[in-house]
Structure formats: C-alpha cells, structure tokens
Chains A and B, each alone.
Chain A
C-alpha cells in the first residue's frame, strides 16, 4: 500500500513507494529510499509538494491534531526556526512562522 502525502507531512523513516521525479523529469530520489532529514530538507528546498510513501496497515502518517510526537514537533520548530532565522523576530513573519509550523504539524503545535 502507498499513499501520497504533502512533503511537509513526510517523516524521517518513511519509505518512498514511488520515485520522486522533478517537474522536468529529473529523478531526485528512487523508490525504496528511507527518508532522512537531509532528504526532507532537499525536497522542501526544491519545492516538491507531494511524495508517495509506503503505507503499511499500521497507524496513519497523518498526524491527529494535538497528538504529534514532542520530539517531532521540536524538530519541525527547529527546522523552521533555522529557515526563518532573524526574520522570525519580526511580528509579521512571526505570524507566518506560526502558520507554517501549525500546517506542518497538523495543528499539533497550536495545542
């Protein structure tokens, strides 16, 4: 089984069920790749919006609001914190930061 999910919801350890092919046909990652932090960072940097990952019959990869693993939440906050850098101090971009973290954590960060 496989499911297509937004890249922002892919997690370290997810296994690609299909290769990630960029808009113009460039192969970025092959099927079977176990995603690491560097892979996820690269996919985001390249603007890849969706990936297809193996979906075993276990728990869904979609987080339920408020139930995200605290370590995962911390990782996302740190990652976005690095990306926003000093800009996060601005009240406008601080709102954007909050919105992005909330989106990536399925609302768990708000809880």
Chain B
C-alpha cells in the first residue's frame, strides 16, 4: 500500500542526494544539475501533498517551480560561461578570490 509517506521519503532521499551532489562535486555544471535534483525532490513533495489534500494548488505551485528552475538554469549557465571566459575553469574550488 503506497501511502503519502512513501512519496515523502522518496522526496527526502532525492533531496539528500541532490544536496550531496551540490556540496561534493567540483564541477560547476554537475553542481547545477544537482540543484535541479533538489528542485525535483521538492516537486515530488508538493505533488504528493496535492494528492493527499485532493487539491490542485500544489500542482500549480509545482508549475511555478519548474518555471523558476528553467530561468535559474539559464542564468546560472550564463554566469558559468562568463566565469569560464575569465578564469578558464569550471571547477568551484579554483575560484577562491574572496579567500582570506
């Protein structure tokens, strides 16, 4: 019997995996991808609750999140390209100009 908790656990697991990816990988592109994973986890969560409450608000929220994710990916990748032009690198830990 699949209850809402199952979906919630799934969402939590995906969230954690995405967090691990953000915190761990050096490559900025992979980091961005991990962020996408996190957003997807949130989406799963929202939809699960939308299903529980038999309301469609959650799904509408999800649409906005997807929209937002798209905009964010675009801008983020644009930054990445600009950064690459200046620093010739896509690795996060080679960009530490604000280091002490």
A associates with B: no
Residues of B that sit less than 8 Å from A by CB? none
